[in-house]
Amino acid sequence: MRRALITGITGQDGSYLAEFLLSKDYQVHGIVRRASTFNTGRIDHLYKDSHDEEARLFLHYGDLTDGSSLRRILHKSEPDEIYNLGAQSHVKVSFDQAEYTADVVATGTLRLLEAVRDYCDTTGRKVKLYQAGSSEMFGAAKPPQNEATEFYPRSPYAASKVAAYWYCVNYREAYSLFIANGMLFNHESPLRGETFVTRKITRAVGKIKLGLQKKLYLGNLDARRDWGFAGDYVEAMWRMLQHDTPDDFVVATGESHSVKEFVEAAFGHAGLNWADHVEIDPRYLRPTEVDFLLGDPSKAAAALGWKPTVKFDGLVKMMVEADIELARQEATLINAGHRVSARSGN
């Protein structure tokens, strides 16, 4: 049975990837951060008690800021494939917590690479590693962006991802490790964190539709993103590690839309007029913005046989419908006298 280790298993992508790998009969190990509240909500449905003979998902406490935990977990889990998805992944927050973001995203990747290098040396095992790179690395570079586009990062997050990318290229060349950098454009889902713009919008649409919220405050509506579906993108990660040679790939839909177009489509799908509800709050603007991302995924299509199955309209519909259902459940609880915490985001 092949074994995979996922950092960031509790995040959006970690959850889809764990589900995907379990469906391919992997034994899956995930690194979980200690938190004062439960942070495993996205993977609880996959978890079986480790005493259960059928258990194939195992969780380990660890952190990308703690190298010794990474080393210990490698020896315990003995992975064939590692997916490094752990990150402080919010671009706006990276301006507020720049050093921490660099410590997790850039130096955290370096810690993992050092641990993998030593693990391979001491055990003689071969391990493949996927690094979660980002279209943010292209930043201000002219669209469309592909594998040959020069990086122009516009945030501490993006600069840290560029550093992590180059650490990976260097370790691939210096130590002949199988390391693939994915350069993934924005990908979303009903499991997307609620402070990223798509989910913030669809959560608001659901709550407004059910009468639980009136206004939605946003920042820059003109930014353009190439939005795909997270479920499709985790398959691309896996395909990169099944490829005969380690390489770097752009993963995108090849379509770009503005935040305003997402807002119009999401409110429209719920039969609402967005102009009645959306207001601009400068708090959500960024010191430097990434204006226009549009990916060219032709290399991934040709070499990996990967294609997105969900495009913009399907994604908006999927997220709005899930969030209307979630708001309906919340409304039921509220009407029954329970308190449901309202969340607003960055």
Of residues 335, 336, 226, 204, the one with CA closest to residue 276? 204
Which residues between 152 and 191 bind ligand NAP (CB under 6 A)? 184, 186-187
Q: Measured from the CB atom, is 120 or 345 closer to ligand GDD?
A: 345
11 binding ligand NAP? (CB under 6 A): yes
Query: Of the residues 16, 119, 157, 167, which is catalytic?
Result: 157
Instruction: Take residue 243 and report the two structure tokens written for it.
Output: 């490829």
Q: Measured from the CB atom, is 298 or 346 closer to ligand GDD?
A: 346
Which span sits near ligand NAP by CB under 6 A: 87-95, 117-125, 313-321, 332-340?
A: 87-95
Minimum distance of ligand NAP from residue 275's CB (angstroms): 27
* Annotated catalytic residue 15: no
Minimum distance of ligand GDD from residue 22's CB (angstroms): 24
CA 53, distance to chain mean position in Å, is: 31
Full 3-state SS string of the chain: CCEEEEECCCCHHHHHHHHHHHHCCCEEEEEECCCCCCCCCCCHHHCCCCCCCCCCEEEEECCCCCHHHHHHHHHHHCCCEEEECCCCCCHHHHHHCHHHHHHHHHHHHHHHHHHHHHHHHHHCCCCEEEEEEEHHHCCCCCCCECCCCCCCCCCHHHHHHHHHHHHHHHHHHHHCCEEEEEEECCEECCCCCCCCHHHHHHHHHHHHHCCCCCCEEECCCCCEECCEEHHHHHHHHHHHHHCCCCCEEEECCCCCEEHHHHHHHHHHHCCCCHHHCEEECHHHCCCCCCCECCECCHHHHHHHCCCCCCCHHHHHHHHHHHHHHHHHHHHHHHHCCCCCCCCCCC
Buried b (16+ CB within 10 A) or exposed e, 306-324: bebebebeebbebbbebbb
Which residues between 298 and 317 bind ligand NAP (CB under 6 A)? none
* Annotated catalytic residue 157: yes
Q: Measured from the CB atom, is 221 or 334 closer to ligand GDD?
A: 221
Which residues between 16 and 35 bind ligand NAP (CB under 6 A)? 31, 33, 35
Residue 211 phi/psi, 5-degree rounding, is 75, 20
d(CA 265, CA 246): 39
Q: Which position among 4, 5, 7, 248 is part of the footprint of ligand NAP (CB under 6 A)?
A: 7
* Annotated catalytic residue 147: no
85 binding ligand NAP? (CB under 6 A): yes
70 binding ligand NAP? (CB under 6 A): no
Q: Measured from the CB atom, is 168 or 197 closer to ligand GDD?
A: 197
Minimum distance of ligand GDD from residue 341's CB (angstroms): 19
Give the footprint of ligand GDD on this chain (CB under 6 A): 89, 91-92, 134-136, 185-186, 195-197, 200, 218-220, 223, 225, 259, 284, 286, 289, 293, 346
Minimum distance of ligand NAP from residue 84's CB (angstroms): 7
> Pick from ligand GDD, ligand NAP, none: which does 111 bind, CB < 5 to 8 A by kind?
none
Minimum distance of ligand GDD from residue 258's CB (angstroms): 9
> Pick from ligand NAP, ligand GDD, none: which does 246 bind, CB < 5 to 8 A by kind?
none
CA 158, distance to chain mean position in Å, is: 14
Q: Measured from the CB atom, is 163 or 177 closer to ligand GDD?
A: 163
237 binding ligand NAP? (CB under 6 A): no
Q: Measured from the CB atom, is 15 or 135 closer to ligand GDD?
A: 135
Minimum distance of ligand GDD from residue 137's CB (angstroms): 8
Task: Enumerate the active-site residues.
Answer: 134, 136, 157
Q: Which parts of this chain interact with ligand NAP (CB under 6 A)?
A: 7-8, 10-14, 31, 33, 35, 39, 63-65, 85-89, 104, 132, 134, 184, 186-187, 193
